[in-house]
Amino acid sequence: MEPVKTTLPAYPEKATLEGRNKVIGFWLFLGGEVVLFGSLFATFIALRQAFHTGPTGEELFDLRLIALATGILLTSSMTSVMAIVGMHRNDVKSLRTWMSVTIFLGLCFLGLEIYEFTHYTSMGHKMSSSPFGSAFYTLVGTHGAHVIGGVIWMILLVARLPKTGLTVVTAPKFYLASLYWHFVDLIWVFVFTVVYLMGKVG
């Protein structure tokens, strides 16, 4: 039977030099991601009025749906915090439970995004319909790909947890997955503001 608690340092993700190096390396990785999304946001802002004959953002966007998706993603950020709090208490059960809830909320967000894209496509808003369409699907789709990557990452960590246990080797992996998830959520806040709010109200 799997033990509920293990004996670990207070901050196991930084208890070893390898763990600290992983955290530093991951911050550098996130710096590159900021550059990537900065480029995509700049492109979208430059092209967001280039509708040609396609539908506009004001015609397309349903802020109730987007607000629901935003609420789900921001809630998942809080549940990932709860997972790390459980990890810091050496509570494997809490870590696994809250990480699983985070995965579930991430899947709910992806379901809404798939529905949204399908709906827009049926309204004639395709990637090839206008520069606005190309910039929209590239920016929002890239964020969605990051959500998929985060969900798969957390699924693998949770699935392997009974075998690997919570140690100073595995703890940095959960910590970095949570850090990555916060980054994905932060990017979505900018997407919500720049793409949807500015598209709807100008």
Predicted TM-score (pTM) above 0.75: yes
pLDDT classification of 6: cutoffs 50, 70, 90: low
Return d(Cα 142, Cα 186) in angstroms, integer: 14
**pLDDT beyond 80 at 7:** no
**pLDDT beyond 80 at 54:** no
Task: Kindly indicate whether the domain formed by 17-48+64-201 is annotated with CATH number 1.20.120.80.
Answer: yes
Question: Do 49 and 132 contact (CB within 8 A), yes or no?
Answer: yes
**pLDDT beyond 60 at 11:** yes
Return d(Cα 178, Cα 183) in angstroms, integer: 9
Point out which residues pair with 91 in neighbouring strands.
Answer: 5
Per domain, the residue ranges of the chain are 17-48+64-201
Return d(Cα 99, Cα 181) in angstroms, integer: 11
What does the pLDDT look like over 13-37, one tens digit per residue? 888 888 888 999 999 999 999 999 9
